[in-house]
A and B are shown apart, each in its own frame.
Chain A
Amino acid sequence: MAEFLMVIIGGLKIGAIYALAAIGLIVIHKATKTVNFAHGGLVMLGAFAAYLIVVELNWPYWLAYVLIPILIGIVATLLEITILRPLRRADLFIVIVATIFLGIALSETFRLAQNTEMLAVPAAIKGPPMMLELGEDLIIITREQIWVCLGALTVGVIGLLIFRYAPAGRSMRAMAANVRGAQLCGYSVNRVYAIAWFVGGALAGLAGVFAAPSHGVSPELAISVITAAFVAAVIGGFDSLLGAIIGGLLLGLAETLSAAYVSSAMKSAVSFLLLFVVLLWRPEGLFPEAKGRDV
């Protein structure tokens, strides 16, 4: 039982990072109808910025949590303004190709700039693990696990609340519902799209800060995160922020449980199996936001 609980906690930690990455992806998609395949690259940039702040500059860790969302949000906004805005009227396929290669460009630039296998970032919260007795067994929980689970999920919920209740969120929801209608209500497409990319980028940056200690900073981080974020987003229903959180957690749990009780080789297979089952059984995802209306 103790082992099972430790596996669950491990799964929740990974799932919380997936959830945070997936929310950023969905915010951008919901408001701008752009599937951002460069999102993994933004997560990797967030992790790299954490390395610079914590390891290179030796600044306090909390500054990484404050500065990086702003920094990566600005980077994402600039990408939208310089690359995606000119493509706004282009075919969807062209936009998708643009974001795919944007993601590759971010990863490869990092690879060329950093002549090393991986950059390591220390954990934000240090100290010995906590040990809870469960009968004759011990449940061991590290402080980092608690921090990542609670921290990433809290940020995710804040993101969800912003989207649902803040004025900026209202503008994005309006744009998501009907672009022409939102414009007629006085919302600027350029401004709302920039805000959406800023929020999505900020969430990606934070996902990078949370992921850096447990994944390291390398170009492979971009690929592993974007893959998981997409699966989590599809499981949750691609337009549902709450669904993304739950989808991320489900994916993290499924991967970890399969690694623990089947084999580590099954980890990726299980995540894709989960994806196919959801697509076949409920193509709209487990928590679709848009409701059908009876007329």
Chain B
Amino acid sequence: MQAFWKAIARAATGLAVAAVLAVSAGPAAQASSQGVTDTEITIGALGALTGATAFIGGPGRDGIQLAVDKINEAGGINGRKLKLIFEHAFTPAESVAAAKKLVESDKVFVLILASGSTGAAAAANYVRETGVATYNIYGATPIIRKPFAKNVFHSAIPGAEVSSQAMIDRAFEARPKAKKIGVLAGTYAFPQANKKATIPLLKKKGVEFVVEEFDQGSRDFTSQLLSFARARVEAVLIFGSFSEAGFAIKQGPEKGLTGVTWVVDGSAVNDAIVPILGAENTKNVWGYYNAPYFPGQSDAPITAYKKMWTAKYGKAPQGRPNLYDLVGYGSTYVLAEAMKNAGKNLNWDSLIAAWSSLKNSKPSNLGGVEITFPQSFSKTNHQGSTELGKAAIKGGIWQVVPK
């Protein structure tokens, strides 16, 4: 009987020790080569496929999948094929749940945050805690960038301070003597991140400014535009989607704002804004672009990309492919190059080491088309690219124009 109780005590102790070890090790102690087999590497991505930010997540999924297909057609990465699992996530709660599912249930090797700032901010703590190799390809929010995490890399969308400075530069290039600037920002994550970065820059520049906000998906900007008209602003910086920016600019003259320079951020730099504005109302509209070509341009690389896109997805709906298609595609090639450089022994440590030393990475290094700016990383700088093209609407389409 005593032996029985001793056996029970030993088993209980063993279980307790195992539980303590498991808990203290935490999720970061999970196999860092999860999702990697001899023949396959599973990557997970999350983003909104419906809702107000579906213009980010849907193209993100399609851009990543297109690159995955092409990389696999070319033989894969060191003999392994890529497999994408994409989870829909619109709200912050959905983003955290999707990240957990992908990492803990689907056991993906790399997590791509293709959700914009809202999802990136929501998943930030989780990816830091787990240590999963993470690629934030769209989120401008500082929450995913600070504090620095060695497992989190960022693609072609730079931090808000970089894009905000670019927008201010555009405004003053068009109106060098402007004394009053309007700032129109959505109340959701990425416009707020940009707004917070913009205000100190405007203060530093010594200009007066008026800040107005709007809810996500707004179509009526009466109060905000009247506020700008009363303040007699000369330029307005808009942080929001193409539809929000488009309707705001369109309603400007109706509220007395004529001759104003409008500068829109990367999300609004989309050809679908042109029919909202009317091609004749686009000469005072400026922006920046996170890629060297717009989908509407006819340069050889973007033409080749559109041909591939159409072959896979059929006739493109209005506004597609967009920036997020391009960055999704280009970023997947960057990730693939990092995985290739990590060698056959692929795990989080080897990948992060290879990724951190990646220089001038671009799709053509693995046979893709050159539609994104090259990305470089270091151990202390995980922002792949901060390059921004100057964007204007010419001939009814957005174009990257010489600076």
| Residues of A near any B CB (own CB < 8 A) | 2-3, 6-7, 9-10, 14, 51, 55, 111, 114-123, 126-129, 138, 140-142, 145, 213-216, 218, 220, 224, 255-256, 259-260, 262-265, 267
CA gap between A118 and B243 in the complex, in Å: 7
The answer, among B221, B253, B276, B280, for a CB contact under 8 Å with A216, is B276
CB <8 Å contact, B256 and A3: yes
Within B201-222, which residues are at the interface with A (CB < 8 Å)?
Answer: 214-215, 217-222
Number of interface residues of B (CB under 8 A): 43
- The distance in angstroms between the C-alpha atoms of A3 and B230, with both chains bound, is 9
Residue of A6, A116, A141, A214 touching B55 (CB-CB under 8 A): A116
Q: A116-B54, A256-B222, A264-B224 are in contact. Are A126 and B278 (CB under 8 A)?
A: yes
Chain A residues near B223 (CB, 8 Å)?
259-260, 262-264
Please determine whether A118 and B258 come into contact, CB atoms closer than 8 angstroms. Answer: no
Contact B320 A115 (CB under 8 A): yes
Contact (Cβ within 8 A) B220 A267: yes
Question: Do B247 and A216 touch (CB < 8 A)?
Answer: yes
Give chain B's interface residues, CB within 8 Å of chain A.
49-50, 52-55, 58, 214-215, 217-224, 226, 229-230, 241-243, 246-247, 250-251, 253-256, 258, 272-276, 278, 280, 317-320
Pairwise interchain contact B54-A216, C-beta atoms closer than 8 A? no
- Chain B residues with CB below 8 A from A142, complex form: 253-254
- Say whether A140 contacts B254, CB under 8 Å: yes
Q: Which residues of B contact A7 (CB under 8 A)?
A: 222, 226, 255
B105: shortest Cβ distance to chain A, in Å?
A: 26
Q: A116-B319, A122-B278 are in contact. Are A259 and B220 (CB under 8 A)?
A: yes
Most buried by B among A55, A120, A259, A267: A120
Task: Flag if A214 contacts B256 (CB, 8 Å).
Answer: no
**B317 close to A114 (CB less than 8 A):** yes
Bound complex: CA A140 to CA B320 (Å): 34
Contact B246–A120 (Cβ < 8 Å) = yes
Q: Are A10 and B255 in contact (CB under 8 A)?
A: yes
B258 interface neighbour in A10, A140, A216, A220, Cβ under 8 Å: A140
Complex partner residue of A120 from B217, B220, B229, B275, CB under 8 angstroms: B275
Return the chain B residue nearest A266 by Cβ.
Answer: B223
Q: How far apart are A284's CB and chain B's nearest CB, in angstroms? A: 30
Find chain A residues with CB under 8 A from B219 CB. 214-216, 224
Q: Which of B52, B54, B247, B318 contacts A119 (CB 8 A)?
A: B318
- Report the nearest A residue to B322, measured CB to CB: A116
Known A-B contacts A116-B317, A116-B319, A120-B273; the reply to A6 vs B278 at CB < 8 A is no
* CB–CB A117/B258 < 8 A: no
CA distance A140 to B226 in the complex (A): 13
Q: Are B54 and A123 in contact (CB under 8 A)?
A: no
A220 to B250, CA, bound (A): 19
A-B contact pairs, 17 of them (CB 8 A): A6-B254, A14-B220, A55-B318, A114-B317, A116-B317, A120-B274, A122-B276, A126-B278, A128-B280, A129-B254, A140-B258, A141-B254, A142-B253, A213-B276, A216-B243, A264-B221, A265-B215
Q: Please measure, in the bound complex, the distance between the C-alpha atom of A140 and the C-alpha atom of B275, giving whole angstroms.
A: 21
Bound Cα distance from A2 to B230, whole angstroms: 12
Contact A115–B317 (Cβ < 8 Å): yes
Q: Could you tell me if A2 and B272 are in contact, using CB atoms closer than 8 angstroms?
A: no
Contacts of B272 in A (CB 8 A): 116, 118-120
When A216-B247, A220-B217 are in contact, do A117 and B222 touch as well, CB less than 8 Å?
Answer: no
Measured CB to CB, the closest approach of chain B to A109, in angstroms, equals: 13
Cβ 8 A contact of A2, one of B49, B52, B224, B256: B256
Contacts of B54 in A (CB 8 A): 115-117
Q: How far apart sit A3 and B247, CA to CA, in the bound complex (Å)?
A: 19
Which residues of the partner chain B approach A260 to less than 8 Å between Cβ atoms? Answer: 222-223, 226
Please indicate the chain B residues that have their CB under 8 angstroms from the CB of A264 in the complex: 214-215, 218, 220-224
A118 to chain B, nearest CB (A): 5
Query: How far is the CB of A136 from the nearest CB of chain B, in Å?
Result: 13
A85 to B374, CA, bound (A): 62
Contact of A140 with B318 at beta-carbon distance under 8 Å, contacts A120-B276, A256-B222, A260-B223 already known: no
Distance of A250 from chain B, by nearest CB (Å): 17
Q: Distance (Å) between the CB of B201 and the closest chain A CB?
A: 26
Known contacts A6-B254, A122-B276, A224-B219; 10 further A-B pairs (Cβ under 8 A): A7-B226, A7-B255, A14-B220, A117-B53, A119-B272, A120-B275, A122-B275, A126-B278, A129-B258, A267-B220
A129-B254 Cα distance, complex, nearest whole Å: 8
Q: Which B residues lie within 8 Å of A267 (CB)?
A: 220
Q: Known: A126-B280, A215-B219, A267-B220. Contact between A117 and B243, CB under 8 A? A: yes
Q: Shortest CB–CB separation between residue B258 and chain A, in angstroms?
A: 7
- Which of B50, B53, B243, B253 meets A129, CB within 8 Å? B253
- C-alpha spacing A75/B213, complex, angstroms: 40
Q: Which residues of the other chain, B, contact A263 by a CB distance below 8 angstroms?
A: 223
Known A-B contacts A6-B255, A129-B258, A267-B220; the reply to A117 vs B52 at CB < 8 A is: yes
CB-CB nearest in chain B for A118 = B243
Question: Separation in Å of the A88 CB from the closest CB of chain B?
Answer: 34
Give min CB distance, B224 to chain A, whole Å. Answer: 7
Which of B49, B217, B254, B273 is within 8 Å of A10, CB to CB?
Answer: B254
Top 8 nearest A-B pairs by Cβ distance? A117-B55, A120-B275, A264-B223, A259-B222, A120-B276, A122-B275, A118-B243, A259-B223
User: Beyond A116-B319, A120-B272, is A3–B226 a contact (Cβ under 8 Å)?
Assistant: yes
B217 contact set on A, CB distance < 8 A: 220
Set of chain B residues within 8 Å of A215, measured between Cβ atoms: 219
B259 to chain A, nearest CB (A): 11
Task: Please measure, in the bound complex, the distance between the C-alpha atom of A140 and the C-alpha atom of B254, giving whole angstroms.
Answer: 6
Are A138 and B280 in contact (CB-based, < 8 A)? no
Measured CB to CB, the closest approach of chain B to A264, in angstroms, equals: 4
- Which residue of chain B lies nearest to A138 when distances are taken between CB atoms in the complex? B256
Residues of B within 8 A of A6 (CB): 254-256
Q: Which residues of B contact A256 (CB under 8 A)?
A: 220, 222
CB distance from B133 to the nearest CB of A (A): 28
